[in-house]
Amino acid sequence: MKMRPFSVSKSSVGSSSLLGYTIIFISLLVHKLDSAHFSVIGPVHPITASVGDEVILVCRLSPSMSAKNMEVRWYRAQFSSVVHLYREGKDQYTEQMSEYRGRTEFLKDGLADGRVALRIGNIRLSDSGLYKCFFQSEFSYQEAALELQVSVSGTNPLISIEGYQDGGIRMVCQSGGWYPEPQSLWKELQGQPLPSLPAKYFRDENGLFQTESVLIVRENSNRNLTCTIRNNILNQEEESSIYIADSFFPKVSHVTVILLSLNLLVWGFFIPLPIYYLWKQYKEKDSLHSKLKVFEEKLRFQVEKEKGKFHLPQCVSKMKKK
């Protein structure tokens, strides 16, 4: 029995090649689609900055991949509120909000690894708030949110004395130019906080806060005082100190106390006398008025009685004549 030699037709070879290319293409596509899935990671904690400074906002892709051919968009509350836009390998400024023009710079050093950064200069109070970092590739898109906290440290506190209140000296500590609301605190020399009245806050025309804190200092209180105004966001504070001398507290001698007591006793003895005299005069006047009223009633009765006697004989005489 002869065996036929093995032969492959051209059609079968073509089919095998097409199948192989199809498998390779699908594998590459699956790999590409799989690599297209990514997430965007931003800073966990808020970023802080002072007015007038610059800040850098950073985001990165996970897993690490190139973002050179992606669209990278930084925006605020709405997708159209563009802070900065990178697309088609270059910066795009036509959609950028007017308040950010000339103040942003897209740092491209880490694009190959999917790490991007945006520098914003000349920070303003209006820059404070939420930002979105948006990436879009050919097959997918993701974004991350981050918060920018803009803060301002104000002026050195001014301590003044505004007279006396509640048996002590009224001390007032004032400072302005803060954002957001600062923390106001009175302390003694050793740094222990002192109880004070609730601080008051006012907003000026620039949106900055002014603060006023009041402390009542009594004679037996600590005389070495410090007023501290603190910005908790920037971890900065301003403070002023003062010492209250004995001369600010009014002194009352024992002689003064004795004289004052004697005066009170004298006044307590003599004041009731004129009051009693006036009361007695009033009672006598009231009694006299009552007697006079009774006398008038009797007199009126007598007059009318006399009138009746005078008219009766005339009536009788007239009757006799008739």
CATH number of the domain residue 144 falls in: 2.60.40.10
Q: Please check whether residues 165 and 211 belong to one and the same domain.
A: yes
Q: Please check whether residues 43 and 144 belong to one and the same domain.
A: yes
Which residues are bridge partners to 215 per DSSP? 171
Q: Please check whether residues 62 and 144 belong to one and the same domain.
A: yes
Average pLDDT value for residue range 215-234: 85
| Distance (Å, whole) CA 302 – CA 305 | 5
Would you state the pLDDT for residue 56? 96
Q: Please check whether residues 236 and 192 belong to one and the same domain.
A: yes
Average pLDDT value for residue range 131-139: 94
Domain ends where: 195, 220, 246?
246
pLDDT for 121 beyond 80? yes
Average pLDDT value for residue range 125-146: 94
Average pLDDT value for residue range 238-264: 66
* pTM for the whole structure: 0.61
Would you state the pLDDT for residue 277? 65
Domain ends where: 151, 183, 205?
151
Domain ends where: 230, 246, 262?
246
Q: Please check whether residues 64 and 105 belong to one and the same domain.
A: yes
Dihedral sign for Cα 231, 235, 236, 241, please: positive
Q: Give whichever of 11-15, 19-23, 196-200, 317-321 has the largest mean pLDDT.
A: 196-200
In a domain, 189, yes or no: yes
Host domain of residue 185: 158-246
In a domain, 112, yes or no: yes
Residue bearing the bigger pLDDT, 70 or 163: 70
Residue 233, classed as helix, strand or coil, is coil
DSSP letter, residue 191: S
Looking at every residue in the chain, the average pLDDT score rounds to 80
Look at the chain and report how many structural domains it folds into: 2
Residue bearing the bigger pLDDT, 46 or 265: 46
